[in-house]
Structure formats: C-alpha cells, structure tokens
Amino acid sequence: MTNFPFLQNPGQNPPKPVRLSMPHPSAAMLRSTSSLRSLLHLSARLLRPPNPRLPRPPHPRLPRPPHPRLPSYPLAARPRFLSSSSSSSAPTTGGVGWATYDLVTDSLRASAVLPSPSASDPEPPAESNSWAVFDPASGRIVKQRSPPSSSTSAAAAKEEEEDEEEEEEGEGAGEGEEKGRVRASARVAKAQTSWSSVAAPRKPAGKGGKEKFSFVCSNCKEADSQWWGFCRYCNAAGTLEKYVPGTGGNASAEGSHIARSWIPQKSKEIVPQSLQEVNKGVNQAKWRIPLSGSFGVEIARVLGGGIVPGSLILVGGDPGVGKSSLLLQLASNILEGFKVEESSPVVYVSGEESIEQIGNRADRMSITSSKLYLYSGTEIEDILDKIQPLSPRALIIDSIQTVYVKSFAGSAGNLAQVKECTSALLRFAKLTNIPVFLIGHVTKSGDIAGPRLLEHIVDVVLYMEGERCSSHRLLRSVKNRFGSTDELGVFEMAEFGLQAVLNPSQMFLTEHDSDSEILAGLAVAVILDGSRTFAIEVQALCVSGSHRSGQVVGIPSRRADVIISVLMKQAGLKLQDNAIFLNVVSGFELTETAGDLAIAASICSSFLEFPIPNDVAFIGEIGLGGELRTVPRMDKRVMAIAKLGYKKCVVPRTSEKLLKPLNLDIEILPCSNLKQFINAIFRPQG
C-alpha cells in the first residue's frame, strides 16, 4: 500500500477545501475504524488499473513518460478532502482537519485548521452541499452542487456505502436481512425496462453521443452526409454548409412543433381499449363524410362509400391529367352535403400556385362556396398554425413534393422531406380526425415520386389516368384500407370541370351501319377493369404479299404472336404471307385474356374479308391447343353487354351452364374450340 506523508504547516495559507460525497479522512487525523476503512478504500482505488478513457498521472514508483494530455495543476487547484466525518470524534489537533491530495506525488498533504479566504485563494470555502467529480475533458477534479449523475460513480459510491453499512458495529442480523431484501427488490425493479424506452432516441455507441449533422448545398438545397468540397448534385464548388437539425434529426422529438400541435390528449393518457368500447355509440352508416351528386357518387365508389374521417389519401397522375381540378371539385362537393351555417370550412393549400390562380380555376368551374378557404404555403408548421383557428372539415395539400419541415435538411421534394412531411400529416390526421388529401407528382415511369415508403404510410392511393388526346379520365384505386381496390371511377373532362360518365360501357364503342364494309376486321371484346365492365373494339388488318412486319397497338405483342400462331396451327389459316396489324380503339390497353377471342375474330374477319355483324360480342381466352377457356365474372360481363343492346355473345362452352339461369334477352353461342367458333360466325347466312 502507498504511504501518505502529511504536511502540517499552520503558517501557510492552505488550499481551499472541497467536501466529497463520501468523506475520505487521512490516517494521521482519524481515530475511528470506519474512517480508516474509507481511507483504505481510497488508496485501493488509487492503485486500481487506469481507465483507458481517462488520463491519469504516472505512479511515482513506476516511472513512465508523462501523458501528453495531463495538464499541470497549480497548488490552488489541487483537490482537498475533509479529514473528519460525522461518525468520528473531533480531531486531536483542534478544529476540523483538511487533507490535500497531490496528483504529482500521489500523496495526501494535511493541514490542521480550516483555511480562510485570502488574496491568493479568492474563492470562499466550499459549501456543505458541494460535490467533487473528475472531469475527463479537462483532466481535473471539478465542483458541482448536485450529486454525480454517472452510473459508474454512483454504483461505486453505493457499493462503498453498502460495505460500510454491513461492517458497522451494533447492526442486528434481522435488520441486515431486511435491508438485504429491500436492496434486492430495488435492484430488480431498476432492471425492469419500460416498453417505451425502446423507442426513445439513443446516442450512437462508441461515438460519445456526437451530434448528427449534414452538409446542405446553398445552390440546389440538396443534403449530403459528407463534405466533398463540391455538390454532387449540381457540381457547384464551395456551396456546402454544415446543417445541424434543431431537434436532433427527429421531427417528432419532444418539444417539436409538429409533435405538440393538434394533440387533444397526452400519449400517457391513451390506453388500449376493447373493440366494444371503440365502436360504442358510433353509427357506421353515418360515420363517413357523404358526397352528393353524380360526381360525388363516382368518387365515393372508388373510396369505398365515402370519405373516412382522419384518413390520409394520396392522388397521383401525369401532369395535366386533372388532379388539381378533381380535388378542387371534391372540396366543393364536401361542402354541398352540409348546411352553410353549420358547415366547417375546407382548406385548399397549394405550394405551386397563388390563391389568385386557384380562384380563377374555381370561377371557371363555377365553384362559389364561401366555406372554401385557399392558402398558398410550403412550410408544414406554418400551414398547421394557420388552419388551426378554422378547424377545417378537410385539408388538401397540392402537392406533397412542394412542402417541407424546417427541422430537416434538404429542399422540398427531397426523399427525407417527402417522408417526414407525410408522416407529420399522418399524425395530424389521426389526432384530429380531419381527412387529408395529398397530390403527388409522378416519375417518367408513372410511379409516384419519392420513396416507396410514401405509399405505405398513407391509407388510400389513387391514380388518375387518361390520354391527352382523349377526354375520358379513369380514377383507379391501388391501395384502400377502407374499401376494395377493384373499384374504378370514370370521368370526362368538360369545359366546366370533370363530369361523371353515367354509362362507361359505351365509352369505347362507335356507331356503324350494319351494311358498312369497314366492319370487316372489327370485333367487340367485353373486359373488366376493377368492378367496371367495358365493351371495347379491336381492329385487325391483314395485308397479303407485304414484306413489312405487322404492328400491334394497345395489345401485348407477345400475346398477339401467340394468338396468330394458334390460328395458323389449330384453325388452318394461311397467315404466313400476311402482315397483320392490330389496334385497340380509343387508345385502351387490352391486357386481360378475356379479349383473346375478340382478337382472333378480328383477324379472321380481315383475312376472310367477312364482316362481323355489329350486334355480336366475344368473351373468352384461347389456349395453345385452340380450345376456348372461361374467364372470371362471366355473368357480369354478359349482363353488361345485354344492357347495351347486343343480340349475340360468343362464349366458351364451359360457361354455358352458368349463364342459362340468368334468362337474359341475348343469344348465347357456346363454342369449344376455334374451328367451331369460325363455323358459327364466318359462314354464309342461308
């Protein structure tokens, strides 16, 4: 054990004393066994192997080169230890004694009297509630008014305290066992971690809890995790600036504006509830927000019956297809279902247009509702602040790629910004029961721009489709948590906005004279898109002796090659020397196999130059053996074609039994293979 020499020089002004959490008295001035034991613990810690993370001066008997981080300690900065405790008696040399630890010589230097402030030591004596801890950053022992928060120091102090308590004289066996049980139960309770701690933000291991930051280009506003000297997006040099998020990179951290806005109750007060309690007093028939008119009925069909309160709905589509017009009309339709006096407003927020431009479009579509509020902004926090006094019935954001959150790096439209803005609006919708509609841009491939996670966050994903040369628009449901994804809305772009199509089955049909020669090579196919039935026209043109290869428009080329090969092999048609051209009227994409029979009928009609009557429709799939196969929902297809006035329908023979009980005003022509089909349709009428 190391010997501790003591210096007693009352004439000098001793260093300022600092009282520790556990007093460590010196051996020369202590008389009780407990105080001597504390000194032994202190000396044992001094001889303990050094912590590699904390600098420590070299031992005097083990010469080593000085540590480069070890600072020099002036005499007034050395720590001092009180040499008496409450359990020990008064020291022999009057008053309270003080011991000073010298880090250079690894020894304690004692003084007999309490030091008094002087010019050399301007600081007053330490207060009774002062604590001394070692600061690894400065390499010295510093004072603080509160106990040390480090788990290591607290555990060491608690261990020493327990050792002293166990060895104190006069402690009974029963009392010791009781204290042991209390300590054990306290340790078990401390070891149990609450479930909420797994979601708490943690500091990165091994990095000392370094602050996260990124580098943002001042030119294009793109962010990068490393500094490259130039921006890798716009190649601008010297434009990268260090950006430290205000909430540590977490927009939902405590204290964030988005986290505390629109929260009706604290999360600690929310507890799991049974299904009966959730549905108690809720009328499911009147739960959804109703939509009126033919336009509203078409939207409600796609959404599954109406707008669900608190839902987050994403609408995507090509530029110019009519997304903004659709949602502006939807906002007006929501207000039509309520009285003007009792209705809450609907807020339309645009980050791309001014409110004057939106008002001009609303005037063109004859929208004059006084409860429709317009706002132009791009900051999520600002938007939520501005709409909070209005308490809107619905919120529309146009578009999600133009808004941003201040606490995250990067410009609007960045992958991180799109994700965080959508997450913030999702929390807003769920906490307030206000439905939120988002407009999303699409990429060149037709997918919604941004991370794929965007479509997983929202409740409903709708795609608006339509050709520029056509006035018809299709609103398709890709994801719907509150209804079926088989529904399809059909609209027509008119001068005053979108109008619902009452009979979508006639959209892709044209009127022809039954005696016209252009009917050769024309056949009608009955297909399903979602839950809607469409009758479309397929055209074929066979050019004999042509050295050019045929072209296919609106039909998968591989599927067309298979059908042509089956006609040559199984039906015996000599199509080798013909260039075959196929087309679907009105630019429709025929991807369903139910149109195989109509494609074969159009090719046979053009090759044989035999016009098909305009009151005949075709439903069926063609196999490689020339057999006709049934397709799903045959009854719904035949019922839809019968309502359009068709007199005959060619179907596979396997579906004849299913269609007989319907008693429809249409003649069913069942066929087993292509040869029976050609003999039934392409034969001279007697």
pLDDT in tens, 470-522: 788 989 999 999 988 888 899 999 888 999 988 887 777 776 555 555 578 99
Cis status of the peptide bond prior to 26, with omega within 30 of 0: no
H or E stretch at 500:
strand 497-500
The pLDDT of residue 268 is 57
Q: From the CA atom positions of the chain, what is the Rg in Å?
A: 42
The pLDDT of residue 241 is 80
Cite the beta strand spans of 76-192 per DSSP E: 80-82, 98-102, 107-111, 131-135, 140-144
pLDDT surpassing 80 at residue 465? yes
Residue 209's identity, in one-letter code, is: G
Of these ranges, 48-57, 78-87, 95-104, 616-625, the one predicted with the greatest mean pLDDT is 616-625
The pLDDT of residue 129 is 52
d(CA 173, CA 190): 26
pLDDT surpassing 80 at residue 58? no
Give pLDDT tens digits for 249-266.
443 333 344 444 444 445
649: which strand partners? 617, 668
Q: Is residue 358 within 8 Å of residue 351, measured between CB atoms?
A: no
Residue 247's identity, in one-letter code, is: T
Give pLDDT tens digits for 322-369.
999 999 999 999 988 776 666 789 999 999 999 999 999 999 999 988
The pLDDT of residue 645 is 85
Indicate the pTM of the whole model: 0.60
pLDDT surpassing 80 at residue 135? no
The pLDDT of residue 185 is 53
Closest alpha carbon to 292 in 253, 325, 339, 259? 339
Q: Is residue 557 within 8 Å of residue 550, measured between CB atoms?
A: no
Average pLDDT for residues 364-384, to the nearest whole number?
91
Give pLDDT tens digits for 175-221.
555 555 555 554 544 444 444 332 333 444 444 445 567 788 877 76
Closest alpha carbon to 513 in 522, 503, 500, 504? 522
How do strand 107-111 and strand 488-494 relate by DSSP bridges? unpaired
Pull the structure tokens for residue 609: 């130059």
Give the rounded distance of the alpha carbon of 374 from its chain centre: 27
H or E stretch at 552:
strand 552-553
Percent of the chain at pLDDT exceeding 70: 63
Q: How many CA atoms lie within 13 A of 286 on its CB side?
A: 4
Closest alpha carbon to 330 in 355, 348, 356? 348
pLDDT surpassing 80 at residue 124? no
Give pLDDT tens digits for 391-421.
899 999 998 999 998 877 778 888 888 888 8
d(CA 678, CA 537): 19
Residue 559's identity, in one-letter code, is: R
Q: Which residues of 154-171 are buried (b: 16+ CB within 10 A; e: fewer)?
A: eeebeebeeebeeeeeee
Closest alpha carbon to 24 in 98, 89, 94, 77? 98
Provide the angle, in degrees to the nearest 10, between the axes of the packed helices 293-303 and 323-336: 110
Burial class (CB in 10 A: 0-12, 13-18, 19+), 647: middle
The pLDDT of residue 376 is 94
Q: Is residue 604 within 8 Å of residue 618, measured between CB atoms?
A: no
d(CA 58, CA 50): 10
d(CA 539, CA 509): 12
d(CA 56, CA 478): 65
pLDDT surpassing 80 at residue 533? yes
Give pLDDT tens digits for 258-288.
444 444 445 556 788 888 888 887 777 788 8
Lowest mean pLDDT across 87-101, 124-138, 144-158: 87-101
